[in-house]
Every structure is written in structure tokens, then in C-alpha cells.
Amino acid sequence: MRLTRYTDYSLRTLIYVGLREPGQSSIGEIARAYGISENHLTKVVHQLGRLGLIRTIRGRGGGLRLGMAPERIVIGQVVRQTEDDLALVECFASGACLITAPCRLKHALGEALGAFLAVLDGYTLADLLGGPESKEVARLLGIPTPEPEAAVL
């Protein structure tokens, strides 16, 4: 299974914006952080906004924020909503293959796709943002992380 660049950028955008919370992000800074096209990213952000996954704030001081809590953003759902075509082989879409009716490959691949999506359904954006790795991811993306406050004695 290979995801499209569009889905990859969608997931990476959600990670970036999630790491910036409660601050705001911009398309330009996300594009620079990942080294990707701002024009392509604009289309991705537009769809993420239409899906309610990202909230766009217009005007001076505007930017991007998550549209819902990261615990509610299920990775499998994001993949389903951003992939144009999850048909792994021709018979999934059109049935044009001569052996589609008796062939067991379609069933096996359908089962594999279901398992792939089921695994992704077990993860939320919060899972991807958590853990000790999140500070390293933020550092690599140039996102400042707040320093822990010193204990007051």
C-alpha cells in the first residue's frame, strides 16, 4: 500500500499544527519546515479545513489551528478522506479483469486493505504528538517547545 503525496502532506500538516498548539501555524512555515511546495500545501490545508480537521483564522494575526481535539482525529479516517482511490488493483474499481469473479486475490487484497486501515484507526493525532519523540520532531521542524518551569521554593 502506498499513500499519495497528498495524504502524506495532510498527515504531516496535522502533526505540525498539532505540535504548535495552542499557537498558530502558517502554510508558509509548514512548507519551509518540510521543504514542500506552498501551492500544493494550500490545497491540502483547504481540504483539511473543509473536513473540519483544521481551522483557518483569516486576517492579521491569523493562521491555522486544529479544528478539533487531537484525540478525536483518527488517522485511518484522515487517510480515507484524503486518498482519492484505495483500490489496490483494477478489479476493486471496475472489475475489468477477466478472472475477477472466481479470483481469490481480490478478497485477500481487500482483507489486507481492511487490516491496514484498522491499524491506522487505532491511532489518533494525539498518539502521534505524544511521547518523548514529539520534542525531537518539534526540534527538527524548528518548532520551539516551552521550557519546563523551575520549581519555586
Position 149 in a domain: no
- 3-class SS at 16? helix
Residue 136 exposed, middle or buried by CB count within 10 Å (0-12, 13-18, 19+): exposed
Position 77 in a domain: yes
Total domains in the fold of the chain: 1
| CATH code: domain of residue 60 | 1.10.10.10
Name the strand (E) or helix (H) holding 65: strand 63-66
What's the domain range around 31?
5-141
**Cβ pair 145, 138 in contact under 8 A:** yes
Position 75 in a domain: yes
Position 147 in a domain: no
Position 112 in a domain: yes
- Tell me the per-residue pLDDT of 40-66, one tens digit each, with 9 for 90 and over: 999 999 999 999 999 998 888 789 999
CA angle 50, 75, 28 (to 5 degrees): 55
77 — pLDDT class (breaks 50, 70, 90) = very high
Position 153 in a domain: no
More confident residue, 132 or 42: 42
Return the amino acid letter for 116. Answer: F
Question: b/e map of 56-77 (b: 16 or more CB within 10 Å)?
Answer: eeeeeeebbbbbeebeebbbbb
Position 133 in a domain: yes
* 58 CA to centre of own chain: 22
pLDDT value of residue 153: 56
Position 104 in a domain: yes
Q: What is the pTM of this model?
A: 0.86
